[in-house]
A = this chain, B = another copy of it.
């Protein structure tokens, strides 16, 4: 699945603390003339302004480029909707959007209460009145894209100290976005650093906080195959859901209000009623989260040998704890399901990434390409002077990171890195941090601190508690406390040691004590604390606030260290990227960073191994072959009856002589693209992207055209289920199909 379910820690990865910026495989740049034109034919997550360089007409596009993207008018681009960790798209004049089942999953889980399990059973609103709120969901469309490179860069032009320079840039970015958002309730401004900071693009969004669920198929369709089939082909998941975007009667995006009315978008997508064939042109727009296509060997080594293994170990332990807790009751299972799912998704992805790295000896490959980079740079005196030390300097920075890794992993738990699995420790940590930041002179504050974010976090606080299941949270808290205890002294979180010593308790005892005595389980109480001074907070003697206070010094030190690291590595990577672009004579796309991107390719299978060919379409017949009657292969009886009766409406594929479910195409996408519309050469919607394939798990690091595929649910299956299974003819009418 390609959403950013764990957006909490993903965004943190992208922010100051773990600023993971990025070395495109040199082979495509240095030997650019000989190979880039065909080997990487479909590679690239292009910014919208780059699409005129892609020669799309030649590649099969049948409509004018301006119909795809027109900054001065209306184009398909305007139908694309950002949905937090995923993508969605308008499909009617009345604000109806389509996205993935797994993107809507969290919201629907939150909307489910005991007795109304919308996840398992699905949900269909038979009219606007029956649509239910999707708690915590915000949708955004892009009103404008503006290049603010000069403005941002000039802010730091005269500052030599890299940390200070970065702070100045961050402050400038904040100032620009603040100015735009100022006084506008439904505007969000974001600036994305392209090419590691060579370019800054400002995206001005209109935001809608009232999103309602329209139709969600049952789990046995929307998540058919579940974790077993996740990242796999052949795939038979009907991974789609409908929602609707609401605004105030005067068109302002705002929170849920009974007075709100469906939003009228200026552009919506037409559902294709054409047949779809092997080799057909496809294009995708969406919000890919993060790639690392231009990394040096130091980064590869750090991730392969340290980051991924540590992450996989902790993730595995967390999942075990959640699963055990979930066995207690159906309610418990539902409470932990979303957290488990999000982590399990990345567990499969990053486990596959590690295996793929090893299979192609990626570290060695990167190292060899770096040697070529060095040779090229060193052959020119000027280049050598400017770029000759980059690689060594990057290596030096990584050494320090490695030394602090295990210690910082523990702080991450308290920092909310693992999403909602440590609700109270993270809330305590956050409110104490807010108090301490406010007590600092403005100049010394964390550049990521913003009063606006604080307000927003307070407003959304109850969402953090929605998956709160105390037995699981206690076990997880205990796990992290004990993990610290098992480390060598210099890696331990000293604040934890202090608190345990002071209370004369074991970790397990402190866990019971803390959960018994804390008042932070009550969100209304938490809200009353947000304007207290740090000293006042400490006086409350809450066990979690006491812990937050105890680890604060370490948190600050870690923050400072990572701030310095971030500023320095960013500068080095920017220079490295500059050198790479200098040496390329073709357009280079920037790494993904959750800003909107365009990618194209064609419908195509692949060869996963010797003598095996995956063909690009799966069918309802194939889904039924997998049916065991037991979840996750528990095909609903009605779907089997429709299959038996060949009651497909107009949606069957004449060549397959069956109902298509999913298809493969060569577009270059990643997490965050989930829910993106797949369009044909005529700009009509033919599918919804929802996954990549396990063989291409290295895709965030390296594009391999032979094996990297997007897996999309076929729009014909979406329409068939909507019409024949759900009987929601009115939706087809709304989309102009009846």
- A residues with CB within 8 A of B: 233-234, 236, 605, 609-619, 621-623, 625
Alpha-carbon distance A234/B608, docked complex (angstroms): 11
A617 touches B625 (CB 8 A): no
Q: Contact check: which of B233, B609, B622 meets A625 at CB < 8 Å?
A: B609
A618 touches B622 (CB 8 A): no
A622 touches B615 (CB 8 A): no
Alpha-carbon distance A625/B615, docked complex (angstroms): 21
Q: Which of A234, A610, A612, A615 has the most CB of B within 10 A?
A: A610
Main secondary structure of the interface of A (DSSP, over half): mixed
Q: Write the chain B residue with the least CB distance to A233.
A: B611
Q: Write the chain B residue with the least CB distance to A236.
A: B610
When all copies of this chain in the complex are counted, the total is 2
Q: Please name all residues of chain B whose beta carbon is closer than 8 Å to the beta carbon of A236 when the two chains form the complex.
A: 610
Alpha-carbon distance A621/B607, docked complex (angstroms): 13
The 6 A-B pairs at the shortest CB distance, nearest first, are namely: A610-B622, A234-B611, A613-B613, A611-B618, A611-B615, A234-B610
A614 touches B617 (CB 8 A): no
Additional A-B contact list (15), CB under 8 Å, known A610-B618, A611-B619? A233-B611, A234-B609, A234-B610, A234-B612, A236-B610, A609-B625, A610-B622, A610-B623, A610-B625, A611-B617, A611-B622, A612-B614, A612-B615, A613-B614, A613-B615
Q: Please name all residues of chain B whose beta carbon is closer than 8 Å to the beta carbon of A605 when the two chains form the complex.
A: 611
Alpha-carbon distance A619/B609, docked complex (angstroms): 11
Tell me how far the C-beta of A204 lies from the nearest C-beta in chain B, rounded to whole angstroms: 42
A616 touches B625 (CB 8 A): no
Q: Please name all residues of chain B whose beta carbon is closer than 8 Å to the beta carbon of A615 when the two chains form the complex.
A: 611-613
Q: Please name all residues of chain B whose beta carbon is closer than 8 Å to the beta carbon of A613 when the two chains form the complex.
A: 612-615
A610 touches B619 (CB 8 A): yes
Q: Please name all residues of chain B whose beta carbon is closer than 8 Å to the beta carbon of A612 when the two chains form the complex.
A: 234, 612-615
Q: Please name all residues of chain B whose beta carbon is closer than 8 Å to the beta carbon of A622 when the two chains form the complex.
A: 609-611
Alpha-carbon distance A617/B612, docked complex (angstroms): 9
Tell me how far the C-beta of A229 lies from the nearest C-beta in chain B, rounded to whole angstroms: 12
Alpha-carbon distance A321/B115, docked complex (angstroms): 52
A-B contact pairs, 7 of them (CB 8 A): A234-B610, A234-B612, A610-B619, A610-B625, A611-B616, A611-B618, A612-B613
Q: Write the chain B residue with the least CB distance to A622.
A: B610
Tell me how far the C-beta of A624 lies from the nearest C-beta in chain B, rounded to whole angstroms: 9
Alpha-carbon distance A46/B146, docked complex (angstroms): 77
